[in-house]
Amino acid sequence: MTTKLITVDEARALATDALVRCKAGPRQAASVANALVEAELIGQEGHGLRRLLTYAPQVLSGKVDGQAVPELRRPRAGTISINADYGFSYPAIDIAMEQLPVLANANGIGIAGIRSSHHAGAVGVFVEKLAQDGFVALMFVNTPAAIAPWNGGKPLYGTNPIAFAAPVPWAEPLVIDLSLSKVARGKIMTAQQKGEEIPEGWALDADGKPTTDPEMALQGGTMLPVGDAKGAMLALMVEIIAAALTGSNFGFEATSFFEPGGSASGTGQVIIAIDPGGLGAQGLARIGVMAAAVQGQAEARLPGRRRQQIRAKRIMHGLEIDQDLFERISALGE
């Protein structure tokens, strides 16, 4: 497989230009490009530049409004509500990231709910940024149906990522970013695009049988939840937090993030920022104690260290992407 090495700035320009050619607004395109490149930098290529192959057709078809400007409301102190207006999630998330530190500093905690949204990518990136600014952060994201209730047969819940990050006084933040399926759906999408099989145990086909065919997994199949029944219950929890509380579509109401046409997905996200000293305790120092205890054990490491190492390396040396992917992105909208 032939690959191409590009700088971070070149990657952002590649993505921005492709989306603008597909009639996205320049500011919206830049926001999306930045999020996709951040995913590439931490090694989550399934949420990276490859997503342009699905994003661009959705803008062209009108499934995603590439010109949408998010609308901000402040229902209560410490709370903001953002209507993504069926555009990309990232411009709405950018607003949340600007506002949440202000809310948390003033109130001890801030919460942002985003509705009528779309795919949110590598959600750990956003909570990590808040942790770098000194906050404990959580993010809940619901996605189109992919997981059935435990002992059920029809997908109702999305893979519904949960992300958490906390500042560490003497080091980079700890970051937990997990999908509630055994693997992220983006990995199956990547296998489909590359014509590769997936390992058995990732998904079931439409008949409820194990499959190694990514096409069978994505078209009418079911992702298996992490932790079996416990994972399915967590996925339900995220549907309530990210969709019900924001007024967004539940997973079973949302259209696919992968299909080029149809109605908007309309999913939701909730982001929470917490001042670690907001309860009057020495929260930040106590986080440091726990972090030291984890790292004090042989072979143990804090969650997030691998992504941070990959990011540092790729910022220095650039991003290596498939030549075929580069050419396909370069041709979008032409």
Higher pLDDT: 221 or 18? It is 18
pLDDT surpasses 90 at 168: yes
Helix intervals (H) in 3-68: 8-21, 26-41, 52-61
* pLDDT of the residue at 190: 80
Where residue 209 falls among pLDDT bands split at 50, 70, 90?
A: confident
* pTM summary value: 0.93
pLDDT (tens digit per residue) in 104-132: 999 999 999 999 999 999 999 999 999 99
pLDDT surpasses 90 at 195: no
3-class SS of residue 158: coil
The stretch 239-267 carries a mean pLDDT of 97
pLDDT surpasses 90 at 223: no
pLDDT (tens digit per residue) in 137-154: 999 999 999 998 988 878
* pLDDT of the residue at 61: 97
* pLDDT of the residue at 178: 93
* pLDDT of the residue at 161: 95
Higher pLDDT: 207 or 172? It is 172
Contact 135, 111 (CB under 8 A): no
Nearest Cα to 175, choosing from 142, 130, 127?
127
Contacts of 270 (CB under 8 A, 6+ apart): 111, 112, 113, 114, 139, 140, 241, 242, 245, 246
Where residue 206 falls among pLDDT bands split at 50, 70, 90?
A: confident
Alpha-carbon span 189 to 181, nearest angstrom? 14
User: Phi and psi dihedrals of 172, rounded to 5?
Assistant: -65, 155
3-class SS of residue 66: coil
What is the H or E stretch that residue 306 is in? helix 305-317
Alpha-carbon span 46 to 233, nearest angstrom? 25
Alpha-carbon span 104 to 231, nearest angstrom? 30
* pLDDT of the residue at 228: 87
pLDDT surpasses 90 at 276: yes
Q: How many CB atoms lie within 10 A of CB 181?
A: 26
Where residue 72 falls among pLDDT bands split at 50, 70, 90?
A: very high
| One-letter identity of residue 32 | V
Where residue 194 falls among pLDDT bands split at 50, 70, 90?
A: confident
- Average pLDDT of the chain, as a whole number: 94
* pLDDT of the residue at 200: 85
The stretch 305-313 carries a mean pLDDT of 97
User: Phi and psi dihedrals of 167, rounded to 5?
Assistant: -70, 145
What radius of gyration, in Å, describes the C-alpha atoms of the chain? 19
3-class SS of residue 79: strand
Which residue, chain included where needed, has tokens 């990590």? 128
* pLDDT of the residue at 175: 98
